[in-house]
Structure formats: C-alpha cells, structure tokens
Structure 1
C-alpha cells in the first residue's frame, strides 16, 4: 500500500506552519523515518494571519499586529541495513513576528495611556537540527531515539512602554527524543509515540528603558532563561478501504512552562514591575485528523481538520491567540522518484483576551490562511 506513505505525508505541515501556543512553527513529526529507502525532502510553508483587537476601556484598536511568516524544512532519511534507519531534520521549532501598527489617533488635547502597545515589535527566530535513529524488531515494533539542537534569538521593542527594548544573544542548546512505533504494513497501519525533552536557553539580554521612578535611562546587560517546552506526540494511520487511509495526530506541549520574563521588565524596585512578555496559563493539546485517497499511480489527495481547545484565560500581548479550528486540503503528485505535495489550510483563530496595565484588549473574529509545498526525491 505505497499510497499510504504519500497520503500520510499530506498531514505533515504541508498546509502551513503550526500555531500551537502561538509560537510553535513545527510539529516535530518523525514520519520521515518510515519513508522507503533513501529519501530527501525540502519543504516551504507560509501562514498569513488576520489578527487584531480593541481595548475594552478606550475602544482603541491594535491594528493588524501579526504579519505573515514563512517557514522551511529539510529532511534526509537513509536505511543502515534491514532494521536500522537514520534521519536528519532541519526546521524552525518556534518563532514570533509581532508588529502593532501604532495607527491610533488620540483626540486632540487628550493624553494617551501611560502604557501603550502602539508601535510595538517583537521577533523570535530559531533553527532546529534533529538527528533520529529507528531500530525495528521482528515483531514490527520499533524504538526511536535522537538528539535535537535549537539555536534561538529574539528582539523586542516597546516604544509606548517607557521606550523599553530588549536584544538577546543567540544561544544553542540541546535536548533529546525517545519513542516507540508499531506497524502492520499489509493494512498500512502505523502508530508512533514520541517524547521530546525541553530545551533550556540561558541568554544574555541587553535591556534599555526609561525608569519613571528614578527619572533615568537604564541600559544594562542581564541574564534571561527561557525554556522551549517538552512535548509528547502520537501519530497514527491505517487503511480503511482499498486505496483509502485515515490518519492523524495528537500532540501535547507543556506551554505552561514557557515564560519570557526579562529582569528589568518584570522586576522591582529597579525595573518596571510588569507582567511577563510572554507566558501561558495552560498546556496545549493539538488534534489533527485526516482522510487520504489514492486516485491512480500518480495522484493522491487528503482532507485534514485540526482543533485546539479555547481556554478563555488571558494570553500574552505578543501572542494573542487562544485555540483554533482548521480545515485543509492537500494533494500529492508522484512521478518516477519525485514526489510533490502541495496544500492549503484555513484556520479560524480562537478569540483571545490580554491584559496590559489596567486595560484589557479583546481579539475577536480572527483567522488565517496557510499554504505549503514539499518536494521529495527517492534515491
């Protein structure tokens, strides 16, 4: 059932980057380990969200504060004998691109709020390199293990918050992956459960701002610890009829452990004493379920739905989303040794509420569209 491999690949972020926790850009799938023979794949995806909100007290709008972003991936898989397969994956595990427009027009003679996100910008960049190994036992069970390196950096500019700015160092740190899988090839059945450890970054951060309590400018280097959280991912597929496959995933991420709290931004008495730049009250579970169909030797297609629970609690101003629902369509064309997959996904972004000083902002009616393209080659 070779079609099963092509259909399942449609679920692997072909329809735009992930959204879990607001900053996740990769679902860290291990499905490439189950490709046949030696295989290389290049992926590109883009997500264009429409996210805006307005203040409860003043009615002032945030403007479009979430610009579109692109992600890439590169993966290589090779067999080392009958029972051992290895893979190398390069991707972007986390990321953020936030830009509040700062277009509010305050009434003539009025005083703008003491704190405002007008003109605020934030950028988080990361590169992940994951090396995986799969050992298959005669019983069709497999053990999976590997190591992951993540390089991350970030900047923040908040001109409406006493001209606060942060620029972090670029740090590379390591984690590990362990898992188990079971297959029944005659019905294209496979279940894989993998755990990815957290990766802790210890940054040097350059913070600068105007301190209203001392009426002086602070410009100093501080230490900042941030954790890319641990996760647990269940991926599954099985044939349910001739040339028809059901597939999906359930992914838990420990986002409640993710926190960005710079020393001066959150600290007192020498700092601003504000809430963390980014934090989440709840962990996140993301569900994906799809149906794939092979039409002929060249074409297969799938439909995929996704869901994350809306928690209803406060989220961070630099990631004002709370759950989502999505639907995606994708198709794969295979000719000779080449496999090309393209897809599109519509995402209904969950309403969110944020706090900033004494004010609350509501983000409602937001959505986005993601597209993806993957090109694979079998050697």
Structure 2
C-alpha cells in the first residue's frame, strides 16, 4: 500500500524538479543543456519556458592600470557591471514503444556585461555581449533491467554564436570620435551528447549521467571596428574557440508518500577558455597575442543542487532547492561562487496541462580582479577592482501540454 501511495505522488513530481528554480552559473553559462523533457511519461508532450535573471554585480575600487589609452583615474571608480537577461526554451517530445525523442531549442551559453564608458575600467570593458542558439535532437531506447528500465541516450545539436565586445581604445577630443573599438564575431558549429539513465517509475527513482561534447568554433570571424579612433579603420579578423564539454549526474527518488528528493552535480570544462586571440585576415601582420583578444582566464565550473518536492493534491505541487555554483573566475573577472535558494510551484488544471512558476534568490560572493600571468599571457593589466557580496534574483515560468 505504501509503494502505491509513493507512486501516485512522485509521478507528477518526477519532472518538476527540472525547473524547481532558475539557475545562475559561472562562465558563459545561461540555460545550459536540459533534456529532462525526454523522460516525460506521456507519449507526446510539449513545453515552453522562460527564465529571467537579475544579477546585481557592482565593481568597486577600480584602478586604471595603464595610461597608454589615456588616463582614466578621473572617472568614477565604481560601476554596475551586469545586465538582466531572459533565457527561453521550447521542446517537443514524442514516444513510440521503447523509443523516445526530444526536439528542442535553447540558449545554453551567453553573457552580457555593460559597465559603460564612464568608469575607470573602460579600457578593459565598455560592453560585452555573447549569445548562442542551440537546436537539438535527442533520442533514447529503454529496456527492462531488474526492477526498472535502463535507458540509452544519444543526440546531436547545431549551435550558432554571435557577440561583440567594446573597449575604450583611446581618450580623444570629441571631433575624433568616441575612441571606442568594437570587436564583432560570429560562427556556427555542432556537437553531440551521449548518456545513460536508470528508472524505477513506481518509486520515482531516476539516475542519469549525460555528457555533452565540446563545440568547436574554428571559423570565428568578424571585424575589429576602429573607425571611432583617429586614423582607425574596420579590419576583418578571425580566431577560434571551443564551447565547453560538460558531464552531469542527476538523481531523484521518492522518499515518502507524495515526497521526492532530487539532486545533481555538473562539471563544465570552462578552463578551455583562456585568451582568445584574433588576427587580421586582410594581409596585415598579426602580432603575438593577436591584434585584439577576448580574455576570460576561466577555471572549470562545478554546480551542485539538492532539493525536495511535495505533492499537496492532484492540482498543486511545490519544491525547494539549494544550489552552489563554483565561480569560474580565477583572479581575473567577477564570477565568484554563488549560493541560491529556490522555490517553485506547479499547477495542473487538467491532467494534460501543467503550469509552473519558480523563483530564486542568492548571493554572488565577494572577491577581486587583479593582474597575473598564465601561460605567457598577462590578464588584468588594463584595470583592477574589487566587489562585495552581491544579490542575484531570478524568476521562471513554463507551460507543458501532454497528449
């Protein structure tokens, strides 16, 4: 009798843990990769979701480290670095006997910082924005093993990237332009994923391990626009970079009638991204380190989530979670450890429709960004700064239709 009571509650909770809270991770992480809709028990299901994130990182005690582009010491020594952003998701899942397939659109990676030009660190960043679009197909085959089912997972995805970075290249009189240089880049590439999962549906048990491959952007091309600098021009440039591979373990289990515990551990290979140099493609010589570069100096990211969910009745379900994300900045940049508390609720007006809403509030921990050298490349030689413990908040909503 107890097992039936657990089953009745956890079946509706099993996928709710997916959007128990919005996330805010390090590196260029936005929505990340999410294939949990693949496990939906319905033959067909469609889901649309959006997460809106509001980080509030403020840089303080900013110092201009070089006078070669003009002395900025007279400008404000603090700035609001981050911008709010939204992350959409759309997925459709279809199943036939032992095979399930998921087709989805997501925006896994991105960043948007915009401290502006009126701060002492404008030599290092005026505005940086990177966006990605990801189109994926993921399928699985399941078969009976012991008391549950083993599921083999495989898929592929096509990804597009575009972005820009603006810096103050020179402090000039107004008649010579703004003095801002702008790097624009874009490319497209593909990747793959593979994984395995084991499920015992009547107890809400599922363990999954999924690997997402690197995405090699070998033809990252664009322009370096120096037209706002006296004597400057628009120079075509090219470089290469890799979006990181990742490995994620997710666990969940019914722990009592109408109660579910869930957790996950994710590793992301952000240390792939250090300094990304760009060289001219118009025949000009390329200096060491490129004519310009996108400097990140990341370390690997780790994200750990734990939580619990409860089904109150056939219409209402709720969950609480705690997330720790290890910051990817390693002495350069402002991406330190983040702690988040999340809460969410799901409402089922009918057995075929589910509406979810969730929110989280967290702390981005304090730190500093300074000058150091790694692998012969010097980081932080434009500006140094500190930052305190800052708040980050997020909300999300989604609707799922099953048929």
Q: Give the TM interval when normalised to the shorter protein.
A: 0.7 to 0.9
How big is each residue's C-alpha offset from its partner over 1:69-90, in whole Å with a ceiling of 9 and x where there is no partner? 0110001111122x11111111
The alignment status of 1:74 with 2:90, answered yes or no, reads yes
2:278 is aligned to 263
Alpha-carbon contact 2:298-2:329 (below 8 Å) kept: no
1:131 is aligned to 137
Alpha-carbon contact 1:260-1:279 (below 8 Å) kept: yes
CA shift, 1:313, in A, is 2.6
The alignment status of 1:199 with 2:205, answered yes or no, reads no
CA shift, 1:14, in A, is 5.2
- The alpha-carbon distance between structure 1 residues 311 and 173, as it changes in their structure 2 partners (threshold 3 A), is closer
- The alpha-carbon distance between structure 1 residues 154 and 55, as it changes in their structure 2 partners (threshold 3 A), is same
Matches within 5 A, 1:1-379: 1=7, 3-13=9-19, 15-16=21-22, 18-37=23-42, 38-55=44-61, 57=63, 60-81=76-97, 83-104=98-119, 116-117=123-124, 120-139=126-145, 140-160=149-169, 163-169=180-186, 171-201=187-217, 202-209=219-226, 216-259=231-274, 261-263=276-278, 270=287, 276-310=293-327, 313-316=330-333, 320-336=334-350, 337-355=352-370, 356-357=380-381, 359-379=383-403
Alpha-carbon contact 2:138-2:154 (below 8 Å) kept: yes
- The alpha-carbon distance between structure 1 residues 274 and 220, as it changes in their structure 2 partners (threshold 3 A), is closer
RMSD: 2.7
Give 5+ residue unaligned stretches, structure 2: 1-6, 64-72, 171-178, 371-379
CA shift, 1:123, in A, is 1.3
Alpha-carbon contact 1:315-1:322 (below 8 Å) kept: no
CA shift, 1:185, in A, is 1.8
Alpha-carbon contact 2:17-2:309 (below 8 Å) kept: no
Q: Distance in 2 between matches of 1:275 and 1:307?
A: 34
- The alpha-carbon distance between structure 1 residues 195 and 254, as it changes in their structure 2 partners (threshold 3 A), is same
- The alpha-carbon distance between structure 1 residues 361 and 96, as it changes in their structure 2 partners (threshold 3 A), is same
**Is the deviation greater in 160-169 or in 246-255?**
160-169
Q: Distance in 2 between matches of 1:343 and 1:327?
A: 11
Alpha-carbon contact 2:26-2:327 (below 8 Å) kept: no
CA shift, 1:186, in A, is 2.3
Give the number of aligned pairs.
Answer: 361
CA shift, 1:335, in A, is 2.2
Alpha-carbon contact 2:355-2:399 (below 8 Å) kept: yes
Q: Distance in 1 between matches of 2:256 and 2:106?
A: 34
CA shift, 1:60, in A, is 4.3
Give 5+ residue unaligned stretches, structure 1: 105-111
Secondary structure at the counterpart of residue 81 of structure 2: coil
Secondary structure at the counterpart of residue 144 of structure 2: coil
How big is each residue's C-alpha offset from its partner over 1:288-325, in whole Å with a ceiling of 9 and x where there is no partner? 11100000111010001000235773233xxx211200
- The alpha-carbon distance between structure 1 residues 3 and 280, as it changes in their structure 2 partners (threshold 3 A), is farther
- The alpha-carbon distance between structure 1 residues 122 and 5, as it changes in their structure 2 partners (threshold 3 A), is farther
Q: Distance in 2 between matches of 1:6 and 1:220?
A: 56
Q: Normalising by the residue count of structure 1, what TM-score does the alignment of the two structures yield?
A: 0.87
- The alpha-carbon distance between structure 1 residues 277 and 85, as it changes in their structure 2 partners (threshold 3 A), is same
Alpha-carbon contact 2:55-2:393 (below 8 Å) kept: yes
Secondary structure at the counterpart of residue 38 of structure 2: helix
Q: Distance in 2 between matches of 1:14 and 1:292?
A: 9
**Is the deviation greater in 267-276 or in 56-65?**
267-276
CA shift, 1:159, in A, is 2.5
Secondary structure at the counterpart of residue 322 of structure 1: coil
